[in-house]
Chain A
Amino acid sequence: MIINHPLLGPRDSAEFVYLGDASLIDRPDPETATPEDWHAYAYLRDNVAGDMRELWFHEGGDRSWLVVTRNTLTHEISKVEMARDVARAQGRSK
């Protein structure tokens, strides 16, 4: 597969390390989260058949974490974002 890196352009997916669903960015707030929230965060997945937002690490490149929107039925990639920007946009800070 080829991942179109926002900064570096098309790169072979073999350069990347796959983590999983981009929901892993949404780590529960330790102050307020219930055990159920933690269980859902760590263990439950949508596992969609279709467009999925997922985390790839550019191990063999610029060491950026990317959020890749990829179709799990066709492998078509429709969007690639810098995970750091996504995390900030979702309100994560320190």
Chain B
Amino acid sequence: MGYSGFKVIKEALLGHKGWTPAWRDPEPKAHYDVVIIGGGGHGLATAHYLAKVYGVRNVAVIEKGWIGGGNVGRNTTIIRSNYLLDGNEPFYEFSLKLWEGLEQDLNYNAMVSQRGIMNLIHSDAQRDAFIRRGNAMILNGADAEYLDEAQVRAEYPFLNFDDARFPIKGGLAQRRGGTVRHDAVAWGYARSADQHGVDIIQNCEVTGFRIEGGKCLGVETSKGFIGAGKVASCVAGSSGRLMAKANMRLPIESHVLQAFVSEGLKPVLPGVITFGAGHFYVSQSNKGGLVFGGDLDGYNSYAQRGNLPVVEDVCEGGMAIMPMIGRARLLRMWGGIMDMSMDGSPIIDRTHIDGLYFNGGWCYGGFKATPASGYVYAHLLANDAPHPTATAYRFNRFQTGDMIDEKGMGNQPNLH
């Protein structure tokens, strides 16, 4: 069923009797061409593009719980493509372009809002690094804008310019960056994939892989064995746990990242702001809540909850840069589990097991990457060759020494 303003009005007048489920609730078939493990944003996007772009429709997405229950429903909803390295920037710019056409592609309003993102600069070294990054973005066809202190002040007069421990010296803006209604991304992709024939199977947990003679034949699940031509892991956050069932050790650790939302407030923040001298980034949702976050808790965890020190650390950053939020109240906090990779960049690749594919290691870049991740993963699954924008996301880069390390932190995941 198509969604539109007219449809909404029609249904309103007819008492909303005509709305049907956004996706079916099918029982799994015995065999699919592709079984995607993980009904999060990336898994559902992969299904959508597999079916719609690559014409592979005999596809199942199997989800342990309810779709969209992982990080796609737990993030701070920011989209951007302000990356430095050649291995990353083209991919994230591709993603941003897909965001820009998402509603029309999905016939679902995920409220992609290109309200702009601003990275604040607090030191000369930071300025040098951001200028290098801004240039890399432009050279890769993305947009970037360098602002001096006066220009930042003109846009965000309420930031702490005059009593700052680390004064604001400028900013790097990406006007095409912004936010998206995160849950709607999962629902929109699910609805579209479903309409293209994909089976979305919820409450179905993968208990193991059936691997014979070095080939993956399918997955054992809580709803029985499901055969598959190709099995695609797409469970960032739980990659370690899942791939262990295939006896794989990964260059990945699972860490908890907390996110926060304030009570609803009348509009104060036009765009997204990232504090460069503390752990704090913030935007304001369309409902009025300040949505903000900071750094990882820092220790391995699968617990989807964090602890107080990081909550305080983030709020300290918030008060340092936006001292007028002192009387705004933190309403809710939650934790998501990140696949923290060894160089801070993702992995989208075949595994050494024939027919078993992997997509993970998203660190906290996952949400903004959702469309491109699905697209290039679909490309890899359909063609057995990496998409041009994702050629660097290989397992073997750590063996060859071709790390993609934006932050320059090395093989310590909790620092990325």
Binding site for B on A (CB under 8 A): 1, 12-14, 18-21, 35-36, 39-40, 42-49, 52, 54, 70, 72-75
Question: Chain B interface secondary structure, helix, strand, loop or mixed?
Answer: mixed
**Residue B138 at the chain A interface, CB threshold 8 Å:** no
Compute how far the CA of A12 lies from the CA of B238 in the bound complex, rounded to whole angstroms: 28
Query: In the complex, which residues of chain B have a beta carbon less than 8 angstroms from the beta carbon of A40?
Result: 249
9 CB < 8 A contacts A-B: A1-B299, A35-B399, A43-B398, A44-B250, A45-B252, A47-B253, A47-B254, A70-B299, A75-B303
Query: In the complex, which residues of chain A have a beta carbon less than 8 angstroms from the beta carbon of B303?
Result: 72-75
Distance in Å: Cβ of B353 to nearest Cβ of chain A: 16
Per-residue A-contact encoding for B303-342, CB less than 8 Å = 1, 0 else: 1000101000000000000000000000000000000001
Compute how far the CA of A50 lies from the CA of B269 in the bound complex, rounded to whole angstroms: 41
Determine whether the beta carbon of A1 is less than 8 Å from that of B307: yes
Query: In the complex, which residues of chain A have a beta carbon less than 8 angstroms from the beta carbon of B253?
Result: 20-21, 45, 47
- Nearest residue (CB) in B for A1 is B307
Interface size classification for chain B: 20 to 34
Determine whether the beta carbon of B240 is less than 8 Å from that of A18: no
Distance in Å: Cβ of A36 to nearest Cβ of chain B: 8
Query: In the complex, which residues of chain B have a beta carbon less than 8 angstroms from the beta carbon of A48?
Result: 240
Query: In the complex, which residues of chain A have a beta carbon less than 8 angstroms from the beta carbon of B156?
Result: none
**Residue B160 at the chain A interface, CB threshold 8 Å:** no
With beta carbons under 8 angstroms apart, the residue of B238, B342, B412 that contacts A19 is B412
Query: In the complex, which residues of chain B have a beta carbon less than 8 angstroms from the beta carbon of A20?
Result: 253, 300, 412-414
Determine whether the beta carbon of B249 is less than 8 Å from that of A72: no
Distance in Å: Cβ of A72 to nearest Cβ of chain B: 5
Determine whether the beta carbon of B298 is less than 8 Å from that of A18: yes
Distance in Å: Cβ of A84 to nearest Cβ of chain B: 21
Query: In the complex, which residues of chain B have a beta carbon less than 8 angstroms from the beta carbon of A21?
Result: 253, 300
Distance in Å: Cβ of A48 to nearest Cβ of chain B: 8
- Nearest first, the 7 A-B pairs at minimum CB distance are A47-B240, A44-B249, A14-B309, A43-B398, A43-B251, A18-B299, A49-B241
**Residue B391 at the chain A interface, CB threshold 8 Å:** no
